[in-house]
Amino acid sequence: MSKSIARMTIDPQYQLADVDPRLFGSFIEHLGRAVYGGIYEPDHPSADEMGFRQDVLDLVRELQVPIVRYPGGNFVSGYRWEDGVGPLASRPAQLDLAWRSLEPNRVGVNEFVEWAKRANSEVMMAVNLGTRGIDEAKQIVEYCNHPGGSYWSDLRKSHGHEQPHGIKVWCLGNEMDGPWQIGHKTAEEYGRIAEEAAKVMKWVDPSIELVACGSSGSKMPTFPDWERIVLEHTYDHVEYISMHSYYGNRENDLATYLAQSLDMDHFIRSVIATCDYVKAKKRSKKTINISFDEWNVWFHSNEADKQVAPWQVGPPLLEDVYTVEDALVVGCLLITLLRHADRVKMACLAQLVNVIAPIMTENGGVSWKQTIYYPFLHASRYGRGKVMHCSLQSPKYDCKEFTDVPLVESVAVWNQDIGELTIFAVNRSQDGGIELECDIRGFAQASVIEHTVLVHSDLKAANTKEEPQEVIPQHAQGAKVDGGLLFAPLPKLSWNVIRLRV
């Protein structure tokens, strides 16, 4: 039986785009135990003086997350940000209708900005365009970013924050196309309010960047007309349009599940085409880029969530336990985002702690890394630099939803500052290992630093409180450079990171 081979060519002359570090962003919503019991637990042994769990902060800092979206999500469409500032004793508890929970407002914008600083991250702030509108959007920008001398900026100062927060990126609402959204709107309705909110927000602070709401997913009946109509209103006022997509394996069809990144790829291409259609229609020289600010695997917890009693603070919602196969899918999705780095400038793994998250915690106890932590960690650490135009020839397969699925999904990133070329690759084959042969003759002095692999004999294996290191990366043997060619064995059903000194 002949050995399966995938061949790739990487040449230093063929570069796609610089990776915006914000491609490795994440998301904290007031949902489940993301905030209360996740990042914030004042009674925890590791909590600092503000109540933030240091064990969680350590794990977040290890991921090197440059930007975190906040406070939602569906939550933001019913949120009064004023309830979360000022003295704790005067903050009202409110019903969160989006997730049928009780919001105590112990953490608000000021606390989260401080948490983000401690996490070495920036904040991507969302405004409520569901139950609220233009004036409230203006007010929160003034509160956060204006130096002083006005009512809202002086209110911030009175709350102990003399210097403005300087939040750079703002989202104009969340998933306003969805009937589940508080204040759901048609594309015309949303486009008008987003345009007017964007104008006044930038009048308060012209330096900010704005994200308009795109479709909640490619299966929405209004996609892609939603993007067209919204951008016809907002094109001159925003820098990005958002994309959201989640994937799952409800039918336990591994071949189809591992191919879901092809859906993401098609979705991105469709949104790019729509953005560029509006650009052409407007005779504009401006290019709208993408903020893929919700993406992940999400399906494990769907049934359990139906049993959770409503109106709790920090209920256990969306607590997916991720497996090896989920980590492979997340790896493929990361590769897809990198391959579109010329237009996808920001992305947020949704979410960061406890809620469909790479990091899990026990209230009052330990924290641990889920399987999906590792591909995200590797991409964030080693995926900085220039994405290369790679020519890849791989064996293919067909499955229920897709045809011509490459058995090997791969991308390469060249970090010239530190002299490294990193190849990320997923072997989707259920039959055996595949040899990756990579022509790197343009990198004459290339040598292998390391080959890291995430692989396990049980695709349903997961990391838990009891077994937190059941699935961890391993050092692989056999990768070598010979005669301008890299040879690297990719084990069956594996995530691979091959780092080269160049």
* Active site residue ranges: 175, 294
The tokens 């880029």 sit on which residue? 289
C-alpha distances (whole Å) from 451 to each of 88, 218, 337, 499, 500 are 50, 35, 22, 6, 9
Contacts of 383 (CB under 8 A, 6+ apart): 19, 23, 24, 334, 338, 413, 422, 424
Neighbours of 196 (CB within 10 A): 17
Distance CA 297, CA 427 (A): 18
Q: What SS3 state is found at 33?
A: coil
Mind giving me the DSSP string for 172-233? E-S-TT-TTSTT---HHHHHHHHHHHHHHHHHH-TT-EEEE---S-TTSTTTTHHHHHHHHH
Position of tokens 């709107």?
185
Instruction: Classify burial at 418, counting beta carbons within 10 Å of its beta carbon; exposed 0-12, middle 13-18, buried 19 or more.
Output: exposed
**Closest to 282 measured CA to CA, from 241, 232, 237, 238:** 232
Which two structure tokens, joined as six digits, stand for 376? Answer: 């995200």
Residue 73 in contact with residue 58, Cβ under 8 Å?
no
Nearest C-alpha neighbor of 175 from the set 95, 100, 242, 83: 242
Residue 483 CB-density burial (10 A; 0-12 exposed, 13-18 middle, 19+ buried): exposed
